[in-house]
Structure 1
Amino acid sequence: MKRKHQILTIPNLMSLFRLCLIPLIVWLYHKKEMYGLAAFTLVVSGITDVADGIVARRFNMVSNFGKAFDPVADKLTQFAMLVCLAVRFHWILVPMCLILVKEILTGILKMAVIRKTGIVEGADWHGKVTTVLLYITIFLHLAWYEIPDVWSIALTALCTAMMLISFILYGIRNLKLLKNRKY
């Protein structure tokens, strides 16, 4: 079996671990109101996100499943945290709704590309920048409980803008792949 078709790899287990951290972070934030510990747990999740990519590339454990599963773990973590934060910061509803629409539509296009071409694309630079901005924004909202509205709104606007740019660029990439069968 070739590595690209493997499912049970260390990087994929790290992604699964990140999925398991989501309920813990939500519980720490909402039920226990332990915002610092929720922020710390989010950092652990972020570290495993970076580490799984490094391990996958360094030890030749990149798999098609991992290329699809890793972003799912990222987006579910981000979406869950945005839902948590939207309770206190109503303007966070905008990126929360955008990430939902973006991921559903991008996912549909990505599945069409995989089905038609067999190509499983990884994340592009703009997706990685969006992820970093989202994690920074979410972390600051968790760790800095009394974040001033002006900072909160500015960070949220920056994330939303980058998310929109990424949505457009992924749409263009996937449509080109569907149309030309090459990129």
Structure 2
Amino acid sequence: MTIRKKELFTIPNLMGYFRILLIPIFMYIYLNAQSVTDTCRALFILILSGITDFFDGIAARKLHQVTQLGKALDPVADKLTLGAVIFCLIRTIPGIQYLFAVFAVKELYMLAGNLISMRFHGKKLDGAAFIGKASTMITYWCLAFFLLFPHMPRLLQLILMMLCGGMMIAAGLYYLPTFYHFIKGD
């Protein structure tokens, strides 16, 4: 992927960089929270990231600034944000480290599948399928509930973690035949 200098500083790409810069800010505020107000500030950072994510896609299309960098940057910002939030919740939500493990394995599998496909056959996924987008959206919503209600009933915590994990696994399995065909050379 060759990146032209003018592609680096498009409005949508600047929003993507901004989302990535929000990650350590979120982590710092959340991990050092001393009150509900601090936790709400961290949640506000996450909501700001989500709003920016929503508008960067619209801006890219409306301003005709869809770039290869932007197509790569957007999912990277999503995955880094989700991973950071799940990681931060490990200290407050018992068992969420297993969700983090599912998330990490799925994302490493997706990365490896794309890299192997690109290396040997010049093919890669062209955007997320509906199930991948649904998995990301559901995970964001569930994580927001964990942030807002860290002391929710244990059964509800388990249901939300299983929902997220199940969606991640389903999304990963959905791409399995695609990667198989890419690697096989079909």
TM-score computed with the length of structure 1 as normaliser: 0.89
Alpha-carbon shift at residue 60 of structure 1 (Å): 2.2
Q: What is the total number of aligned residue pairs between the two structures?
A: 180
Q: Percent identity?
A: 34
- Per the TM alignment, residue 169 of structure 1 is displaced from its structure 2 partner at its CA by 1.1
Give me the whole-angstrom Cα distance separating, in 2, the residues matched to 1:162 and 1:23: 26
RMSD: 2.1
Question: Counterpart of 1:105 in structure 2: which amino acid?
Answer: Y
- Give the SS at the match of 1:90: coil
Matches within 5 A, 1:34-183: 34-115=38-119, 116-119=121-124, 121-181=126-186
Q: CA deviation at 1:2?
A: 9.7
Conservation of the 8 A alpha-carbon contact between 2:114 and 2:124:
no
Question: Any gaps of 5 or more consecutive residues in structure 2?
Answer: none
CA contact (8 A) 2:135 2:167 kept: yes
- Report if aligned partners of 1:79, 1:99 keep a CA contact under 8 Å in 2: yes
- What is the TM-score normalised by the length of structure 2? 0.88
Could you say if the C-alpha distance between residues 175 and 65 of structure 1 is closer, same or farther in structure 2, counting changes exceeding 3 Å?
Answer: farther
Deviations 1:129-167 (A, max 9, x none): 011011101111112232222221111110100000001
Unaligned runs of 5+ in 1: none
**Deviation of 1:125 (Å):** 0.7
SS in 1 for 2:8: coil
Cα contact 2:7–2:69 (8 A) shared by 1: yes
Whether the 8 Å contact between 1:15 and 1:73 is mirrored in structure 2 is yes
Residue identity matched to 1:36: C
Distance 1:119 1:145 in 2: 38
Bigger mean CA offset, 154-163 vs 61-70: 61-70
Q: Equivalents in 2 of 1:8, 1:103: separation in Å? A: 27
Contact 2:16–2:74, Cα closer than 8 Å, also in 1: yes
Provide the rounded CA distance (Å) in 2 between the counterparts of 1:88 and 1:167. Answer: 27
